[in-house]
Amino acid sequence: MTDQAPKRPAEPWRQRLIRTLLYGRNVDRSAKARARVGLAIIAFSLVYAVIAGRLVMFAVGGDGHGTRRTASQDAIATARPDILDRNGMILATDVKTPSLFGEPRRIIDKDEAIELLTATLPDVDAGEVRDRLSSRKGFVWLKREITAQQQKDIYRLGIPGIGFLRENKRVYPSGPIVSHLIGHVNIDNQGIAGIEKWLDSNGLADLHRAGFATDRQQEPVQLAVDLRVEHALRDELLKAKDKYSAKAAAGLVSNVNTGEIIAMVSVPDYDPNNPREANDPTRINRLTTGVFEMGSTFKSLTLAMALDSGRATINTLYDARAPLVYGKFRINDTHNLGRSVPMWEVFTESSNVASARIALSMGVEAHKAFLRKLGQLSRLRTELPESAEPLVPKRWSELNTITIAFGHGMAVAPLQAVMGINALINGGYLIPPTFLKRSREDAMQVAKQVVKPETSNSMRYLMRLNAEKGTARKADVKGYYVGGKTGTSEKVVNGRYSKKQVLNSFTAIMPADNPQYQLLIMLDEPKGLPETHGFITSGWNAVPTGGKVIERIAPLLGMTPRFDLPPSERLILAASKESR
């Protein structure tokens, strides 16, 4: 071992330099004096630089609250893209509007400021303005979205600490016409319902946060909806709601080959320019947010299941001689047929008994599998965030299959039912519905073949036959070869089905020999009239309403009327046989 003193850690070169300059023995006195003066100059320069920097910051931003004001301005000034209908009509756009703010720390006489402001803006709450201006905050909103005249009046008051910011305000030129579809935004221009909310959840909110959505050059978003068709549909639904004293009415037009939603109306609706109206629970969107037992329109699915299995044809006979008794339950028809009827008559007579027997003949598991294949047992997802889960029996017995066969005991969103029926008539393709424009080619990329083309042909025939001879006759608008199926669903009141409170539906296709569009009409609790002989079933109210809608929208959809067409046996059924 060796006794060596521990080495001292190496001194940093800066300390060594300063020590040498100030205290080194080999440095002359004049050099040390110059070094000390230099260090003093550097120290004072740093202090003055910091002070100057802070002064510049105060000059530019005023204070920390000014910075927050700027941040608030950035957050609310972000622009949203225009939303257009399929023909380029503007459904939603941004306009610039002034908003009033205050900086409490800069206001000299707050009482005077409050008095002047409330005199100019009589609709603002004086107590609320006082609370805000009495806070220790540097920036407070006093009133969002004031008029240009109000801005001029307040500007002339010359109150220190009161100012204006220009914000983007969302405006909906068509008012309530597309409200449930397009949704609305909040006071900060953030989408909170409908397509507006979908835009935020699909990248717009991220662009805002990243600061890349502050310009007005964003590409517009084009929807599938046709404003003209939407207007006509809404107009007829409002008339029908008033005429039949219904609680509500709803309707939807879908392109059966692309899944595009051409129109969607649910009344009562609301004006998205006044989004507070949307909080009224009676104004919900019944087509996606509500779920309903769809009544006899569901028989279309039951009959298609049997046809697609190959175990039945449209001429297969089913027993409808008497009510169907299952345990303590008794299934009746609205009018007793008293005989066995072929499947086509099951459809046109809308027999509950025969439909139940058809479903029973297929079995519970086959029934469930078919409805699952048509997307009826799971929640339907579209661009609209508002959607409802279908109500499906937890334990699915034969009794459930019996009632679901004619549209009771299971509730789905009406748009969901429309999707399933589209698949039955468009050649057998289940196409997810969309509110955006979509080509046929794009639709086929997401389509699934769920029934055979032969089944689809038979369903077209049955629907057309129903308009010629069945319950849809009042919607047989000449020239458009309409087909359709009615549905009258008794509502559950106090745990029991009510015969006086019904939800009526009517689904129409046009033209039946080569369907392009499906129309759904719904009336909630319509009342009987002398002209309906007191009847409240679908054929007396929803069906004629559908006929009036078809008369107005078919030309808008570019459908050319065709007259002197042969009956369905010769046009659809014969063509179907020739194609086999």
Give domain status of residue 47, yes or no: no
8 Å CB contact between 297 and 347:
no
Give domain status of residue 283, yes or no: yes
8 Å CB contact between 408 and 293:
yes
CA distances from 407 to 38, 506, 547 (A): 95, 13, 23
Which residues constitute the domain of residue 210?
78-124+138-222
| Helix segments in 310-397, DSSP class H | 343-349, 352-362, 364-373
SS3 state of residue 441: helix
Note whether 431 and 356 are same-domain residues. yes
Give domain status of residue 534, yes or no: yes
Could you tell me the two tokens for 188? 């900060």
Note whether 348 and 285 are same-domain residues. yes
CATH of residue 242: 3.40.710.10
Backbone angles phi, psi at 313, to 5 degrees: -125, 175
pLDDT in tens, 370-385: 999 999 999 999 999 9
Give domain status of residue 170, yes or no: yes
8 Å CB contact between 194 and 183:
yes
CATH of residue 156: 3.90.1310.10
pLDDT in tens, 116-145: 888 888 888 888 888 888 888 888 888 888
How far is the C-alpha of 544 from the C-alpha of 550, rounded, in Å? Answer: 10
Domain C-terminal end among 222, 237, 269: 222
Could you tell me the two tokens for 433? 């519905």
Note whether 293 and 414 are same-domain residues. yes
Note whether 450 and 395 are same-domain residues. yes
pLDDT tier for residue 444 given thresholds of 50, 70 and 90: very high
Residue 150, number of CB atoms within 10 A of its CB: 17
How far is the C-alpha of 20 from the C-alpha of 26, rounded, in Å? Answer: 8
Instruction: State how many domains the chain has.
Output: 2
- Does pLDDT of 1 surpass 50? no
Q: Which helix (H) or strand (E) holds 326?
A: strand 324-326
Domain C-terminal end among 164, 197, 222: 222
Residue 401's pLDDT is what?
Answer: 97
Instruction: Tell which residue, 368, 348, 367, has the closest CA to residue 471.
Output: 348
How far is the C-alpha of 251 from the C-alpha of 247, rounded, in Å? Answer: 14
CA distances from 544 to 476, 519, 550, 553 (A): 9, 13, 10, 14
CA distances from 434 to 215, 236, 242, 415 (A): 28, 24, 30, 11
Q: Which helix (H) or strand (E) holds 175?
A: none
Instruction: Tell which residue, 378, 71, 78, has the closest CA to residue 199.
Output: 78
Note whether 269 and 404 are same-domain residues. yes
Active centre residues (catalytic): 296
The model's pTM is 0.81
What integer is the mean pLDDT of 159-167? Answer: 88
Give domain status of residue 22, yes or no: no
Note whether 364 and 498 are same-domain residues. yes
How far is the C-alpha of 31 from the C-alpha of 38, rounded, in Å? Answer: 11
% of the chain with per-residue pLDDT over 70:
89
How far is the C-alpha of 574 from the C-alpha of 46, rounded, in Å? Answer: 97
pLDDT in tens, 250-278: 999 999 999 999 999 999 999 999 988 98
Note whether 204 and 345 are same-domain residues. no
Backbone angles phi, psi at 119, to 5 degrees: -70, -35
CA 445 centroid distance within chain: 23
Instruction: Tell which residue, 122, 209, 117, 211, has the closest CA to residue 160.
Output: 117
Give domain status of residue 447, yes or no: yes
Average pLDDT, rounded, for the chain: 88
Higher local confidence (pLDDT), 539 or 569: 539
Residue 266, number of CB atoms within 10 A of its CB: 26
Domain C-terminal end among 177, 201, 222: 222
